[in-house]
Structure 1
Amino acid sequence: MRPTRPDAVQRLLSGADPELHLGLLAGQDSVGVALVPNRLNRHTFWCGQSGSGKTYALGVLLERILLTTRLPVLVFDPNSDFVRLHEQAAGADPRQAEALHDREVVILRPDDAQSPLRVRFTDLTSRAKAAALHLDPVVDRAEYNALLRLFAGDFQTVDAGQIVPHLRSLGDPDAEALAQRIENLGVIEWTTTWAFGATPATDVIARRPAATVLDLGGYERHEEQLTVALAVLDDLWARRAERRPLLIVVDEAHNLCPPDPETPLGVAVRDRLIQIAAEGRKYGLWLLLSTQRPSKVHAGIVSQCDNLTLMRMNSREDLEQLASVFGFVPRGLLAQAARFRQGEALLAGGFVPMPSVVRMRRRVTAQGGTDVPVPMP
């Protein structure tokens, strides 16, 4: 046994194009670790505890994808961490910044008049409409049936505000009960959720910009976040036969796919993500799930991931779970995660040449969310 020479390691890990480097091999500042872009067609799990640099590092990966591939990216962004993905960071490489500037990055926000993050209630699937209205097809069978008949008939509108008046005009007691439910829940009052004639997010995503960031953090209610996420995921699944590649990035994935969601909307979103994890790969729908707590993400989704990025993680429970799911990663490398410094990550799976501990490179684009500093005298 003898240590490998740095030049041999560099040939193995670095690749020919420095633009593909996610960072430098820990302890070897001369050796870059390259992304293998054609292996992004597998699901990826990205995790690290708070303060590990997880979000910053994920931004590095998104930049490398934008710079070196033509793979469109869709980001579910619950904390508004990636809303500046189209802005240049201070001190960034001008050449790389210019190359990123040429890629179309769309930021959709609930309160943005020019690029609103909205969906159409009328475009939702029957299950999604029922979930938003807390309707059970058996327990609430009369109202559920009224909802089905409403959109199976001649009623056609893009204005959610017309639904209650139309239901009341029918003179049907079940339709009246459904109208009361909609009013009581205040669903129509989600004015930053429904398109009301504006371009829905699903139409923007269907154009396949280089990157589309959905700023879910701009909503007041978690139900609105779930409704928008469900509308987008359902639309992607409905179009799956088009087989158009898309990397679906779910930041803070424990919010959208926990093991035991508490609401019908949460169950519907989780179930759709489970379906995409299990069957979406052959249609070009590839997931990247990012979270602080692996144990808080549905195990059936994590088990479908073939790529792993692990940053500092002190939880023994989470490390044991990762060891059981990602059996191809040496346990000795996983155990090092408790000692990682900020910005260091273990990369393993097909999207890197071999399991490696990497110190992530600097961002080219601006970081959206940052820690609040401690006030000082």
Structure 2
Amino acid sequence: MPELTIGAAIDDDAAQVQLDPRRFNRHTFWCGQSGSGKTYALGVVLEQLLLHTDLPLLILDPNADFVRLREVRSSAGEAEASRISGLDVRVFRSGHADGDPLRVRYVDLSPASKAAVLQIDPIADAEEYNILLHLEMVSETFDTAQMIRDLRASGDQMQARLANRMENLQVLEWDLWSRGAASVVDDVQERPRATVLDLGGFDHPAEPKVAALAVLEHLWARREERRPVLIVIDEAHNLCSPEPATAVERELTAKLVQIAAEGRKFGLWLLLSTQRPTKIHPNVLSQCDNLALMRVNAPRDLAELVEVFGFASDEAIRRAQTFAQGQALFAGGFIAAPTFVQMGERLTQESGGDVRVPLRA
């Protein structure tokens, strides 16, 4: 059975540390404060999954940290470089970045999600919601301007109100929409080895959340196909807040809670990476059976981790306060026993990174 070599033991640098790839069929929580090396280290594990399994990865990437996942470093071994460069890794960019654009079809969203985008409450705005439910949108010919004109020309007051709402909110003008053309969910359905969604370049703050919602709804709607995929959510607090504030955030959080509770038996497995456990919805956090913990100083966060992850001792978790950059505790189903690790080197290029302070020469 292949093992995922991720680094060396902190107390014995000659002892390689390996994860059991079979145990990524449980949800994983990855945590570390800013500067701990969390994103770099996560890349080490994702590379190993690409090299040694056939598990497809769906990476929701808010900071464009993984958009170079198919670009191999010069320091990588020839065999590993050849294997990674030959993998089907698809990257979709938001905003004005070069590359394939990240687009989804509005018409593919569930009625509840369409209503959330348009800020329509099913009870308070019952008549508008009912019109939205029965509004026919043909994906191949979807034209937002024509739809608004048709609604206004209908002579129905509620349809005219819906048209005004669409126009006033301007959500149908978002760059996110494919307007009947190809959608990223079509690629996700093909299960390439990795699909990277760069969520950070959109203008409207709801667009990355709607992009994530569209993909998660698609996966859930087809869950009975039982086609495994590891859903990697970097900076997961942006998508899985314990206190969602908007209708879109509530729909997205509800879908993640559903996947966390029921998705494992369908092959929908989560890997949530964030700086603080208290920023993740507790009904998602409590479903995680694997833990990767990097440096964390906040006493409240450490107490939360101790309470949730009983398979790691209080002492082991609190040692995270002393970790240097790139050091981590791994515990749970994917490793034989709680282990302290100095993470290994990346094989692919890391994007993103901090902006340096300009210094005077």
Q: TM-score range by the shorter chain?
A: over 0.9
Deviation (angstroms), 1:145: 1.1
CA distance in 1, matches of 2:179, 2:99: 14
Structure 1 residues 82-103: Cα deviation after superposition (integer angstroms, max 9, x where no partner): 1111111242222211111111
Residues 1:137 and 2:119 aligned together:
no
Aligned to 2:11: 27
Deviation (angstroms), 1:113: 7.6
Go from structure 1 to structure 2 and tell me whether the alpha carbon gap of 1:90 and 1:371 turns closer, same or farther (over 3 Å shift): farther
Aligned ranges for residues 350-361 of structure 1 at < 5 Å?
350-361=333-344
Task: Please give the root-mean-square deviation of Cα atoms over the aligned residues, in Å.
Answer: 1.4
- SS of residue in 2 equivalent to 1:74: strand
- SS of residue in 1 equivalent to 2:303: helix
Residues 1:193 and 2:176 aligned together:
yes
Corresponding residue to 2:320 among 299, 321, 337 = 337
* Higher mean C-alpha displacement, 340-349 vs 101-110: 101-110
Deviation (angstroms), 1:114: 5.7
Residues 1:250 and 2:236 aligned together:
no
Aligned to 1:46: 30
In 1, are the aligned partners of 2:239 and 2:249 still within 8 Å (CA)? yes
In 1, are the aligned partners of 2:139 and 2:180 still within 8 Å (CA)? no
Go from structure 1 to structure 2 and tell me whether the alpha carbon gap of 1:372 and 1:245 turns closer, same or farther (over 3 Å shift): same
In 2, are the aligned partners of 1:34 and 1:353 still within 8 Å (CA)? no
**After the TM superposition, which segments of 4 or more aligned residues of structure 1 sit over 3 Å from their partners?**
111-114
Aligned to 2:104: 119
CA distance in 2, matches of 1:271, 1:29: 43
- SS of residue in 2 equivalent to 1:306: strand
Aligned to 1:156: 138
Structure 1 residues 106-126: Cα deviation after superposition (integer angstroms, max 9, x where no partner): 001134686221111111100
Instruction: Give the AA of the match of 1:260.
Output: E
Instruction: Give the AA of the match of 1:181.
Output: R
In 2, are the aligned partners of 1:295 and 1:318 still within 8 Å (CA)? yes
Structure 1 residues 223-253: Cα deviation after superposition (integer angstroms, max 9, x where no partner): 1111111111111100000000000001111
Instruction: Give the AA of the match of 1:86.
Output: R
Structure 1 residues 203-227: Cα deviation after superposition (integer angstroms, max 9, x where no partner): 0100000000000012112111111
Go from structure 1 to structure 2 and tell me whether the alpha carbon gap of 1:340 and 1:160 turns closer, same or farther (over 3 Å shift): farther
Residues 1:69 and 2:57 aligned together:
no
Instruction: Give the AA of the match of 1:91.
Output: S
In 1, are the aligned partners of 2:139 and 2:179 still within 8 Å (CA)? no
In 2, are the aligned partners of 1:80 and 1:217 still within 8 Å (CA)? yes
In 2, are the aligned partners of 1:160 and 1:194 still within 8 Å (CA)? no
- SS of residue in 2 equivalent to 1:30: strand
Structure 1 residues 64-87: Cα deviation after superposition (integer angstroms, max 9, x where no partner): 000000000000101111111111
Aligned to 1:58: 42
Structure 1 residues 6-50: Cα deviation after superposition (integer angstroms, max 9, x where no partner): xxxxxxxxxx86x72111000211100111001110000000000
Residues 1:300 and 2:283 aligned together:
yes
Corresponding residue to 2:210 among 197, 211, 227 = 227
Corresponding residue to 1:349 among 329, 332, 349 = 332
- SS of residue in 2 equivalent to 1:29: strand
- SS of residue in 1 equivalent to 2:273: strand
Q: How many residues align?
A: 357
Instruction: Give the AA of the match of 1:40.
Output: F
CA distance in 2, matches of 1:160, 1:334: 54
List alignment gaps of at least 5 residues for structure 2.
Answer: none
Instruction: Give the AA of the match of 1:289.
Output: L
Deviation (angstroms), 1:306: 0.1
Instruction: Give the AA of the match of 1:352.
Output: I
CA distance in 1, matches of 2:98, 2:113: 25
- SS of residue in 1 equivalent to 2:206: helix
List alignment gaps of at least 5 residues for structure 1.
Answer: 1-15
Residues 1:268 and 2:251 aligned together:
yes
Instruction: Give the AA of the match of 2:341.
Output: V
Q: TM-score, normalised by structure 2?
A: 0.96
Aligned to 1:3: none
* Higher mean C-alpha displacement, 173-182 vs 90-99: 90-99
Go from structure 1 to structure 2 and tell me whether the alpha carbon gap of 1:198 and 1:157 turns closer, same or farther (over 3 Å shift): closer
Greater strand content:
2
Aligned to 1:288: 271
CA distance in 2, matches of 1:206, 1:166: 33
In 2, are the aligned partners of 1:97 and 1:364 still within 8 Å (CA)? yes
In 1, are the aligned partners of 2:105 and 2:139 still within 8 Å (CA)? no
Deviation (angstroms), 1:157: 3.6
- SS of residue in 2 equivalent to 1:218: coil
Instruction: Give the AA of the match of 2:264.
Output: R
CA distance in 1, matches of 2:181, 2:76: 36
* Higher mean C-alpha displacement, 38-47 vs 93-102: 93-102
- SS of residue in 1 equivalent to 2:345: coil
Aligned to 1:9: none
* Higher mean C-alpha displacement, 105-114 vs 267-276: 105-114
Aligned-pair identity (%): 52
